[in-house]
């Protein structure tokens, strides 16, 4: 799917909901169902990538050595 980088998380979730609705229709051909499934998997991967990126950008408020609060970039391990 071209242009995935421009799709927001919310748009991706909306697209996934649309794909699920289409797959639930009984008159979908096997070929169309496979294409929809493939597109859905790609969209899930895209949305996961957006979540990973957002997680890395989060900042956490931590207590420093002197008891003061300091803001530092989050350093989460990314699986996958």
CA dihedral 45, 46, 50, 51 (to 10 degrees): -30
pLDDT of residue 1 exceeding 50: no
% of the chain at pLDDT higher than 90: 54
- CATH number for the domain formed by residue range(s) 4-73: 1.10.287
CA distance 21 to 14: 11
Confidence of residue 76 (pLDDT cuts 50, 70, 90): low
Please tell me whether residue 29 adopts helix, strand or coil conformation.
Answer: coil
| pTM value > 0.75 | no
Confidence of residue 34 (pLDDT cuts 50, 70, 90): very high
pLDDT of residue 18 exceeding 50: yes
Residue with tokens 């008159």: 27
């Amino acid at each position: 799917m071209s242009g995935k980088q421009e799709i927001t998380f919310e748009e991706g979730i909306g697209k996934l909901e649309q794909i699920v609705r289409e797959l639930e229709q009984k008159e979908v051909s096997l070929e169309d169902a496979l294409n929809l499934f493939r597109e859905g998997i790609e969209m899930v991967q895209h949305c996961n990538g957006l979540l990973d990126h957002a997680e890395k950008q989060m900042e956490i408020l931590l207590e420093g050595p002197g008891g003061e609060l300091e803001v530092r970039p989050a350093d989460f391990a990314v699986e996958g």
